[in-house]
Amino acid sequence: MSKKDVETTGHSWDGIEELNNPLPRWWLIIWYICIVWGIAYTIAMPAWPLVKGATAGVLGWSTRAQVADKIASFEEMNAAVNAELAAADITTIEVGSDVHNYGVNMGAAVFRANCSQCHGSGAAGNVGYPNLLDNDWLWGGTIDEVAYTVQHGVRNETDEARYSEMPKFGADELLTEEEIDQVVAFAMSLSDPEGDGTNLVGGTYDVDLASAGAEVFEINCSSCHGEDGTGDIYQGAPNLTDAIWLYGGDHDTVYETVYYARFGVMPAWGQRLSQAEVNAAALYVHQLGGGQ
């Protein structure tokens, strides 16, 4: 068709006229197909909003069902390695093996969901909640000790839980006020290799009081914390000579700890997590940098 035969719409701008060419037929057909498709889609799929929810669609498709399917298929895919991880002797799992890689990655997920509330998402802990990145461990930092702690927890109601209890030296009047002042100073001096009255974390104490507290410490504290103050992982007694203070290494905090004692609790995760998840959490925590 020659251009000259085409009508114009009559619109003219500076002599440029708008041609009134007919639309291609296929365009019309595609438009009709789109209408049919649109109607069919709203019947087949969830579409029309109702007062509560929306029409479900005859195909019964839903995002939730899709997610459930995905989860089920992943669980099926991981069933074998999961069983292997649950049955494995955690102390001998070969680093870099599939089950180890799987465990570390699964452990990261378990940790974020269950442990991060207290220990922090980066496992750096908080006041009263141990930092899992450092090389100081209350109950032992080897892989099997970590796994035991995860499984049974600390100072909870279960029989297998790790348990120990520090006496309330002040509240129960086991020591006099003077003896408490002396032993607080002595405990702080343990983490002060220079002996200048300022310990490794910047807490200050009276050097004369400290020397007077040595005897009080030996009688009352050394059975758990050791004669040299390096602690005892079998009783969860912290090492007092290092730079790590779970509740704080300044004078007032150490005084509070001696006066009222501390009673940190951790749930027995074996009651809530599967064996594979417990092993995974232990593998993850152990490889964070502080594991022994």
Q: Residues in the site for other proteins, rule: CB under 8 A? A: 1-4, 6-11, 20-28, 95-96, 100-101, 104, 120-122, 124, 131, 133-136, 200-201, 239, 242-244, 286-287, 289-291
- For residues 77 and 86, give the distance between their C-alpha atoms in angstroms, rounded to a whole number: 16
Residue 90: both structure tokens together: 């955690």
Neighbours of 163 (CB within 10 A): 14
242-255 b/e (C-beta count within 10 Å ≥ 16 → b): bebbbeebbbebbb
State which residue, 23 or 51, has the beta carbon closest to other proteins: 23
Beta carbon of residue 242, minimum distance to other proteins (angstroms, whole number)? 4
DSSP 238: P
Rounded (10°) angle between helices 98-110 and 275-286 = 90
Nearer Cβ to other proteins, position 144 or 177? 144
Residue 50 vs 95, nearer CB to other proteins: 95
Nearest distance from C-beta of residue 66 to other proteins, angstroms: 20
State the minimum distance, in angstroms, from the CB of residue 1 to other proteins.
Answer: 7
Of 71 and 243, CB closest to other proteins: 243
Q: Which is nearer to other proteins, 2 or 63 (CB)?
A: 2
Concatenated DSSP letters of 219-244: HHTHHHH-TTS--BTTTTBPPSSSS-
Smallest distance from the beta carbon of 137 to other proteins, in angstroms?
A: 9
- Least distance to other proteins from the beta carbon of 109, Å? 16
Q: What angle do CA 130, 136, 142 make, to 5 degrees?
A: 100
